[in-house]
Structure 1
Amino acid sequence: MTYVIAQPCVDVKDKACVEECPVDCVYEGQRSMYIHPDECVDCEPVCPVEAIYYEDDTPAEWTEYRTANAEFFTDLGSPGGAANQGLVEHDHPIIAGLPVRTE
């Protein structure tokens, strides 16, 4: 099982999760962060906006984020660490299609 980053992260990208991740598996898209399902070791996540959930525990209103998180890596593959990858210049279409949060 892996973790999923859901709606509270969109347009926020606090990045506390990146600093705490022991295996560098939290990647940055344009509007959200994404956890690589093959690189994640299921550690204790850190998220000040409470956006990270175990895949099976994702709230019902955000289940589409399980798909968005997994499919984000379809073209990217498994680079073996987010730090070397840097900002990925796109988001999954589910995320990209959301209204921009301005708060």
Structure 2
Amino acid sequence: MEIKHTAMAGTLESSDITVEIKPNPENEIGIILESSVEKQFGNQIKKVITDTLKEMNIQSAIVRANDKGALDCVVKARVQAAILRAIDETHFKWEVEN
């Protein structure tokens, strides 16, 4: 999938994350993370973002994330929502993990 334009998902509330995704003219993945817990969990947050991009076949994008202590499932959901908005997708089969 190709990112068509800039899109956002999330809030700046506690335990949430704001994710902005936009096209990358360099044709690679770039992640810019701001987080009060970056020293402890920065690598894990970036891994969740990267894994979600791969799952959704995104190979080129700039992702700016402002984390306020979000759990991995919230990070994944916000990245998915931002991607869907950025590719103008209106139909998506959401999966529930058991």
TM-score, structure 2 length as denominator? 0.30
Higher-RCO chain (CA-CA 8 Å, sequence separation at least 6) = 2
TM-score, structure 1 length as denominator? 0.29
Q: Which has the higher strand share?
A: 2
